[in-house]
Structure 1
Amino acid sequence: MRFLSEGNAFSLKVFFLLFLYLLSNNFVIAQYITAGDLVYEEAFRRNQLINYQPENDYSLLIRPVYLSKPYFQKDSIEKLIKENLNFTILPFRLVSQFNSNRPYGWGDLSMIPNVGFQELFSGGIAGNFKFIHFQIQPEIVWAQNKSFQGFSDQFSRGTLLARFHYWNFGDAPERFGDRSYFNGWWGQSGLSLRFHSVEIGVSTRNIWWGPGQFNSLTLSNNAQGFPHISLNTIRPLKTFLGKFEGQLISGKLKDSGFDGSQNSELNELYFEEFNGDYKYLNGLSISYQPKWIEGLYLGFSRTFQRYSQFMGNSFNDYFPVFEAFQKNKFFENGNTLQYDNNGYDQQVSVSFRLLIPNKGFEIYGEFGRRDHAFNWREAILNPEHARAYLLGFNKIIETGQKYRFFQIRSEITHTQSSNNRYVRYPGLLGGYAWHTHNEARGFSHKGQPLGVGSGIGSNVQTIEVSVVEGLNKKGILLERLANHQDFFYRAFGQNPEKKPWVDFSLGLLWDHQWERLLLSSKLQLIRSSNYQWQSNKLSTNDFSSGAHKTALFAQLNLIYPISKN
Structure 2
Amino acid sequence: MVKKLLYIVLLAIAIKGNAQQTALLDEIKLSNYYRDKQLLCKIEDSELVKNYSFLVRSTSLYQNLSQLTLNNKLHLSSFQFSNNFQNNSNLPISYNDGNLQPAKGFQERYSIGANIKWKFIDLNIQPEYIRGENLQQEVFKGNRLDNNWWTRYFYSIENNIDDYRQLGRAPIDKFYLGQSRLGIQLDKFSLGVSNENIWWGPGQRNALMFTNNAAGFLHAYFQTNKPIKTKIGNFELNAIYGKLENINFTHPDDSVMKTIWPGAIEKKIESPRNIQAITINWNPVWMQNFYIGYTYVQQSYNADSIFNLSKMSADQNIMKMGSLMFRYVMPRDHAEFYAEIGQPNQTATPGHFFTDTVRTGFVFGATKLLLLNSSNSFIKLNVEVAQLQLMDPRQIFIPGVPFGPPQVSSWYASSSIRQGYTHEGQNLGASIGPGSNSQAISLSWHKGYNKLGIFVERLVHNSDFYHYAYLTGLLGYSRADAYWVDINGGVELQTSPVKNIIISSSLMNTHSMNYRWLKNVADISIDKFATPGIDSDKFNFQFNIAIKYIFNGAR
Shorter-normalised TM-score: what interval?
0.7 to 0.9
Q: What is the match of residue 439 of structure 1?
A: 416
The Cα of 1:94 is off from its aligned counterpart by 0.8
Q: What is the match of residue 367 of structure 2?
A: 394
Q: Any idea what the Cα deviations from partners look like across 1:205-231, whole Å, max 9, x if unmatched?
A: 111111110111001111111000111
1:133/1:256 CA distance change after superposition, 3 Å: same
Q: What is the match of residue 272 of structure 1?
A: 266
SS in 2 for 1:476: strand
Q: What is the match of residue 425 of structure 1?
A: 398
Which of 479, 494, 498 pairs up with 1:496?
A: 479
| Kept after mapping to 2: 8 A contact 1:173/1:259 | no
Which of 40, 47, 50 pairs up with 1:54?
A: 47
The Cα of 1:364 is off from its aligned counterpart by 0.4
| Kept after mapping to 2: 8 A contact 1:297/1:352 | yes
Q: Give me the whole-angstrom Cα distance separating, in 2, the residues matched to 1:473 and 1:423.
A: 43
The Cα of 1:386 is off from its aligned counterpart by 2.8
1:384/1:299 CA distance change after superposition, 3 Å: farther
Identity among equivalent pairs (%): 27
Q: How many residue pairs were aligned?
A: 502
Whether 2:508 is the aligned partner of 1:524: answer yes
| Kept after mapping to 1: 8 A contact 2:281/2:292 | yes
Q: What is the match of residue 184 of structure 2?
A: 193
Write the letter of the residue equivalent to 1:130: K
Q: Give me the whole-angstrom Cα distance separating, in 1, the residues matched to 2:65 and 2:28.
A: 21
Q: Give me the whole-angstrom Cα distance separating, in 2, the residues matched to 1:59 and 1:185.
A: 30
Whether 2:342 is the aligned partner of 1:351: answer no
Q: What is the match of residue 320 of structure 1?
A: none
Q: Choose 1 or 2 for highest CA Rg.
A: 1
Write the letter of the residue equivalent to 2:390: S
Q: Give me the whole-angstrom Cα distance separating, in 2, the residues matched to 1:214 and 1:40.
A: 13
Q: Which moved more, 1:161-170 or 1:219-228?
A: 161-170
Aligned pairs for 1:7-46 within 5 A: 37=27, 39-46=29-36
Q: Any idea what the Cα deviations from partners look like across 1:40-72, whole Å, max 9, x if unmatched?
A: 212111111013513312111122225556554
Q: What is the match of residue 180 of structure 1?
A: 171
| Kept after mapping to 2: 8 A contact 1:210/1:218 | yes
Aligned pairs for 1:540-559 within 5 A: 540-544=524-528, 545=531, 546=533, 547-559=536-548
Q: What is the match of residue 305 of structure 1?
A: 299
Q: Give me the whole-angstrom Cα distance separating, in 1, the residues matched to 2:414 and 2:433.
A: 15
Q: What is the match of residue 459 of structure 1?
A: 437
The Cα of 1:448 is off from its aligned counterpart by 0.5
Whether 2:457 is the aligned partner of 1:479: answer yes
Which of 379, 382, 385 pairs up with 1:406?
A: 379
Write the letter of the residue equivalent to 1:444: T
Q: Which moved more, 1:237-246 or 1:64-73?
A: 64-73
1:248/1:489 CA distance change after superposition, 3 Å: same
Whether 2:282 is the aligned partner of 1:292: answer no
Q: Give me the whole-angstrom Cα distance separating, in 2, the residues matched to 1:431 and 1:184.
A: 35
| Kept after mapping to 2: 8 A contact 1:93/1:557 | yes
| Kept after mapping to 1: 8 A contact 2:320/2:347 | no
Q: Any idea what the Cα deviations from partners look like across 1:148-197, whole Å, max 9, x if unmatched?
A: 23542454342112211211111121210012122211110011112211
Q: Give me the whole-angstrom Cα distance separating, in 1, the residues matched to 2:356 and 2:111.
A: 42
Q: Give me the whole-angstrom Cα distance separating, in 1, the residues matched to 2:127 and 2:493.
A: 27
The Cα of 1:287 is off from its aligned counterpart by 0.3
SS in 1 for 2:150: helix
The Cα of 1:423 is off from its aligned counterpart by 8.3
SS in 2 for 1:351: strand
- Larger relative contact order (Cα-Cα within 8 Å, sequence gap ≥ 6): 2
Q: What is the match of residue 28 of structure 1?
A: none
Q: Give me the whole-angstrom Cα distance separating, in 1, the residues matched to 2:303 and 2:67.
A: 47
Q: Give me the whole-angstrom Cα distance separating, in 1, the residues matched to 2:114 and 2:181.
A: 11
Q: Give me the whole-angstrom Cα distance separating, in 2, the residues matched to 1:353 and 1:373.
A: 21
Q: Give me the whole-angstrom Cα distance separating, in 2, the residues matched to 1:385 and 1:410.
A: 26
Which of 517, 520, 540 pairs up with 1:536?
A: 520
Q: Which moved more, 1:448-457 or 1:149-158?
A: 149-158
Whether 2:152 is the aligned partner of 1:159: answer no
1:68/1:106 CA distance change after superposition, 3 Å: closer
Whether 2:318 is the aligned partner of 1:340: answer no
Q: Which moved more, 1:531-540 or 1:184-193?
A: 531-540
Q: Give me the whole-angstrom Cα distance separating, in 2, the residues matched to 1:562 and 1:539.
A: 62
| Kept after mapping to 1: 8 A contact 2:229/2:235 | yes
Q: Give me the whole-angstrom Cα distance separating, in 2, the residues matched to 1:402 and 1:538.
A: 60
Write the letter of the residue equivalent to 1:403: N
Q: Give me the whole-angstrom Cα distance separating, in 1, the residues matched to 2:63 and 2:229.
A: 16
SS in 2 for 1:533: coil
Write the letter of the residue equivalent to 1:392: G
Q: Give me the whole-angstrom Cα distance separating, in 2, the residues matched to 1:381 and 1:562.
A: 50
Q: Give me the whole-angstrom Cα distance separating, in 1, the residues matched to 2:91 and 2:481.
A: 21
| Kept after mapping to 1: 8 A contact 2:296/2:347 | no
The Cα of 1:461 is off from its aligned counterpart by 1.4
Q: Give me the whole-angstrom Cα distance separating, in 2, the residues matched to 1:376 and 1:506.
A: 37
Q: Give me the whole-angstrom Cα distance separating, in 1, the residues matched to 2:307 and 2:286.
A: 43
Q: What is the match of residue 495 of structure 2?
A: 512
SS in 1 for 2:27: coil
1:204/1:48 CA distance change after superposition, 3 Å: same
The Cα of 1:530 is off from its aligned counterpart by 1.2
1:69/1:261 CA distance change after superposition, 3 Å: closer
Aligned pairs for 1:70-109 within 5 A: 70=66, 72=68, 83=73, 85-109=74-98
The Cα of 1:38 is off from its aligned counterpart by 6.4
Write the letter of the residue equivalent to 1:363: F
1:435/1:69 CA distance change after superposition, 3 Å: closer
1:187/1:106 CA distance change after superposition, 3 Å: same
Q: What is the match of residue 332 of structure 1?
A: none
The Cα of 1:348 is off from its aligned counterpart by 0.6
Q: What is the match of residue 219 of structure 2?
A: 228
Residue segments in structure 2 that go unaligned for 5+ positions in a row: 1-23, 473-477
| Kept after mapping to 2: 8 A contact 1:109/1:222 | yes
The Cα of 1:87 is off from its aligned counterpart by 2.1
Q: Give me the whole-angstrom Cα distance separating, in 2, the residues matched to 1:386 and 1:150.
A: 34
| Kept after mapping to 2: 8 A contact 1:150/1:262 | no
What TM-score comes out, normalization by structure 2 length?
Answer: 0.84
The Cα of 1:125 is off from its aligned counterpart by 1.3
Q: Give me the whole-angstrom Cα distance separating, in 1, the residues matched to 2:357 and 2:201.
A: 20
